[in-house]
């Protein structure tokens, strides 16, 4: 069943069918239009996206690159992106950024080969500027999710990581904590860097000097968080009563480490996370953390991208900033 069949059935030319299909060019007689519509309905005809895309010289496929499919944080984001995309008739190709440049290059090859019409990039990692360059060179519209603040040339959704972390630490200080550790992700991960910056700002604001021994760099993984906490503990810092973690996975690892050592949370040490993944509600003590509207972030980013793709006004730079909010549960004392 092709457009030709419909044309034949309706006794018109394919051009006319195409016109009603595209609903533009109002110039189609009401009678003709109705007849064609009825036939399309009856036959269940669906135009071939391949042919259409070929002539339009663009696909309706969006590339979505995330740092780690396994990170539960991405569930909602993906769902938001998908729902938004589907509503407008777009598809998603999902890519795992992983940690290697090779994989990253492979992803980009794949995406351009598939002729994606745009890319949503959520793996911002300062070491990966070559990615940015490649995409920009290819002139593929893109939106960065949670990239760094000054993504010149790219539109973006940002989460004000620094401010949220600052608020969290501020509240900790209000609650009487003075010696607060910080377990970060890898240095090249933007979100981690920003959260660390927020931590530093809060201390400064409260006139507490930042002791570098308080911060230890780990990775966004439970096992790494565990190790990080161990290392922090080994430093034997006097008066340590709280540690903020740059994501939930790290915090959960920290929790486990503390528990293994018989250190009470939050009585002896308070622990906080960031992201509010599902697990936060199910570990004990329940994790106090910072939540971001991930579903919305996903949705807004596709919408932004589609607007970009369809309007072709690629010059404009949009920016939407979300402010995450602190979710108080049980793992931090005094909040």
Per CB under 7 A, residues contacting DNA are 2-4, 11-19, 21-22, 24-29, 31-33, 47-48, 51-52, 54-57
12 interacts with, out of a second copy, DNA, none, CB within 5 to 8 A per kind = DNA
Give the pairing of strands 118-122 and 142-145.
parallel
82 interacts with, out of a second copy, DNA, none, CB within 5 to 8 A per kind = a second copy
Give the pairing of strands 270-272 and 242-245.
parallel
- Give 198's contacts (C-beta < 8 A, 6+ positions apart): 161, 162, 163, 164, 165, 166, 167, 168, 169
- Say how far apart CA 333 and CA 335 lie, in whole Å: 6
29 interacts with, out of a second copy, DNA, none, CB within 5 to 8 A per kind = DNA
329 interacts with, out of a second copy, DNA, none, CB within 5 to 8 A per kind = none
Taking the least distance from each CB to DNA, the nearer of 5 and 217 is: 5
The pair of structure tokens assigned to 34 is 């109705």
Taking the least distance from each CB to DNA, the nearer of 4 and 284 is: 4
306 interacts with, out of DNA, a second copy, none, CB within 5 to 8 A per kind = none
Q: How far is the CB of 289 from DNA (least distance, A)?
A: 48
- Give 37's contacts (C-beta < 8 A, 6+ positions apart): 20
Taking the least distance from each CB to DNA, the nearer of 10 and 227 is: 10
Q: How far is the CB of 132 from DNA (least distance, A)?
A: 26
Q: How far is the CB of 246 from DNA (least distance, A)?
A: 45
CA–chain centroid gap for 181, Å, is 26
The pair of structure tokens assigned to 161 is 């990581």
Taking the least distance from each CB to DNA, the nearer of 40 and 97 is: 40
Count CB-CB contacts under 10 A for residue 114.
13
User: Angle at Cα 201 formed by Cα 123 and Cα 71, nearest 5°?
Assistant: 25
Taking the least distance from each CB to DNA, the nearer of 28 and 76 is: 28
Contact residues for a second copy (CB under 8 A)?
46, 48-51, 53-54, 59, 61, 69-70, 72, 75-76, 78-79, 82, 86, 91-94, 96, 110, 112-115, 222, 252, 256, 259, 278-279, 282-284
Taking the least distance from each CB to a second copy, the nearer of 32 and 91 is: 91
Q: What is the DSSP string of 178-210?
A: -SEEEEE--TTBHHHHHHHHHHHHHHHHTT---
Distances in Å between the alpha carbon of 78 and those of 73, 95, 318, 323, 329? 9, 11, 21, 19, 26
């Amino acid at each position: 069943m092709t457009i030709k069949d419909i044309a034949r059935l309706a006794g018109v030319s394919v051009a006319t069918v195409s016109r009603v299909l595209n609903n533009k060019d109002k110039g189609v007689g009401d009678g003709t239009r109705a007849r064609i519509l009825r036939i399309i309905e009856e036959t269940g005809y669906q135009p071939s996206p391949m042919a259409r895309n070929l002539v339009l010289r663009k696909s309706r496929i969006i590339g979505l690159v995330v740092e780690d499919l396994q990170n539960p944080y991405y569930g909602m984001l993906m769902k938001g992106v998908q729902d938004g995309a589907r509503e407008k008739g777009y598809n998603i190709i999902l890519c795992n950024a992983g940690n290697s440049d090779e994989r990253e290059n492979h992803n980009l090859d794949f995406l351009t080969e598939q002729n994606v019409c745009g890319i949503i990039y959520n793996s911002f990692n300062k070491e990966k500027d070559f990615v940015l360059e490649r995409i920009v060179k290819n002139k593929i519209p893109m939106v960065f999710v949670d990239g760094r603040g000054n993504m010149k040339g790219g539109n973006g959704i940002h989460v004000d990581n620094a401010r949220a972390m600052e608020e969290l630490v501020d509240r900790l200080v209000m609650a009487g904590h003075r010696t607060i550790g910080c377990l970060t992700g890898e240095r090249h991960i933007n979100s981690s860097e920003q959260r660390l910056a927020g931590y530093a700002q809060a201390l400064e604001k409260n006139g507490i000097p930042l002791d570098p021994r308080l911060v230890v760099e780990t990775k966004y993984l439970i096992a790494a968080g565990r190790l990080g906490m161990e290392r922090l503990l080994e430093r034997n810092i006097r008066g340590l009563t709280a540690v903020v973690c740059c994501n939930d996975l790290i915090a959960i690892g920290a929790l486990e480490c503390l528990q293994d050592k018989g250190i009470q949370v939050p009585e002896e040490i308070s622990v906080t996370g960031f992201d509010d993944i599902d697990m936060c509600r199910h570990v004990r003590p329940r994790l106090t953390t910072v939540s971001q509207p991930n579903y919305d972030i996903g949705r807004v980013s596709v919408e932004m991208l589609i607007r970009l793709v369809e309007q072709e006004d690629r010059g404009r730079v949009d920016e939407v900033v979300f402010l995450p909010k602190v979710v108080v549960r049980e793992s931090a004392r005094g909040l």
